[in-house]
Structure 1
Amino acid sequence: MAGKLTYQQAGVDTRKAAALVGDIGAHVRRTQQTRKLWGAFGLFAACYDLSSYKEPVIVTGCDGVGTKLELLLERGLLETAGKDLVAMSVNDILTTGGDALLFLDYIGIAALDEERITSLIKGMADYLEACDCILAGGETAEMPGIVPTDVIELAGFCIGCAEKGDLIDPTTVAVGDVLVGYASDSIHANGWSLVRRVLKEHPGEISDEELGAWLKPTRLYHDVTRDLKAKGVKPKAMSHITGGGLPENLERLFRGMGADLEIPKWDLPGIEKLLAHVDAEDRFHTFNMGIGWVAIVDEKDVEASLTAGDGGVILGRMVPQEGVRVRVSGE
């Protein structure tokens, strides 16, 4: 009818959005090679059969990519953004000793852009396929006038499950236990507000190659947890080193004791240029400093833990003095 408006004219194309669900089907199917949804993909809610668990305990996680997303969008690194989104939530699930089963995403965008959204989904599917977690669904919201045209909003949600008896129990951590750290692949997805401030105030100091190394996706630590289980090692606690660095992410695990850590020098191209502009103490509370995962284990399990996944190294021990103190080897 003449003069009447459509939803599409207002900036939202529901038919195009429905077609996109079919277009990403190949990526979704890649995440169901082993585990399967109970029912079809694309319904109002996703279902998963937990009957293979004897005493199932559901575990959940939610996270985003933070301000790193600005630099990824500027450089067209949408697949990296998708991988970061998955890793930030899946790794948190893995700290419980559970399995990451289902992942859902939220994408907020000014107008549907099939190429960019497909790149995001591909990155998610690459990581989800690697850790055997299903892309179970999500929400792509077109919000013209709310989300700027050069911005994409991202949030990820992960649902996992563990046998009650397999859950990690941080209350078992004791003085003398050993902290084993595992290398990060990059700065990961925390501390980027500070990185962006340094880049703005010191233009041209960081090369494109160095920045590219910093922007590599957050490492998935499923290889570490998988190998620990295969070796029969049950850590007393595990930590994903994100915002707050080693001190704050470890201190949430125990009370009435602490840890003295000595970490290797961070082996990341150009990172010394960044750290030269950062407060010496604050660096430990902002960046992962080359260690993205920590397992606290009994002395008898140290040797096996060091060969679980790549990059295992002894960082220190639990001590009676409260707080986590960190220093870099050789400094």
Structure 2
Amino acid sequence: MYLNPRIVGCVERTLVLSHGYGGSQAIWDKVLPHLSKSNKVLLFDWDFAGATAGEAGEEERYTFSRFADELVALMDEVKLKGALFVGHSMAGMVGCIASIRRPGLFTHLVLVGASPRYMNSEDYEGGFDKSAIDEMLSSISSDFHSWANGFVALAIGIADQSVVELLARSFFAMDPRMAHGLARMLFLGDQREVLDRVVVLCTLVHVSGDFEAPPSIGRYMQGRLKRCTSAVLETIDSVGHFPQLVALEEMLRILNVMLGEGRLLASDVVEERSGNEGSLAEAEVNGDVDVVAMS
């Protein structure tokens, strides 16, 4: 399996950092120096990160089920179990499905900006009407790079050109056909029933000013995660969809609590800147994160 895996650090406790749509393992670069001091950290790239449609095959191959299988296979390959999994955006629901199939691989799921469904319906507020999603998909299909330019600026939410450029590089590395197929999977899918089967401890991390997965989505997920040991919601007072890039201190504070290391001091951030089988119904998982209705 070629997912460009990389392990940083050498202690026993393990962390898995997983990116979402349009990202790459580089989105964790700001938190990695601190986390690798006292953890063994696995990073990897999903196959849409920098691949071409010819390498990856038809866009219809994308399902949440398939991504979950790949995550489980990768963790088996590198012999990781009992890990704390940090899944950003799309990867949050991938981690949930993987934990249902193999709960022994995970001790804790940290779901950053995750959402089980983006489309509004009579009984659910996902954030986007069907017409907005159709318009977004049309924009991706007709002019992916223009759409991605607008999305990256909105997803970052701050005027930090270096951060914008970092995210833009990974977005623009995607093949437009793959980007369209993956966006269809994310925004037209519905993973809400998956939440009912999660038993692993969960922490939901949402940004107060995230247009794509606001705290209201986190509250919905928290209420539906009834079988897990505990589901805690943490809200970061910031903007955008990438707190690991724009709200570094708060993101690290939350992760440190999960890891039992207490609160990270602001000075530390400044310094760093210079086995069991689960069952899942064969309902195909088809819809989640990292793109937005931008036209």
Interval of TM-score (by shorter of Structure 1 and Structure 2) = under 0.3
Query: Could you say which structure has the higher strand fraction?
Result: 1
Higher relative contact order (CA 8 A, sep 6+): 2
Which one has a bigger Cα radius of gyration?
A: 1
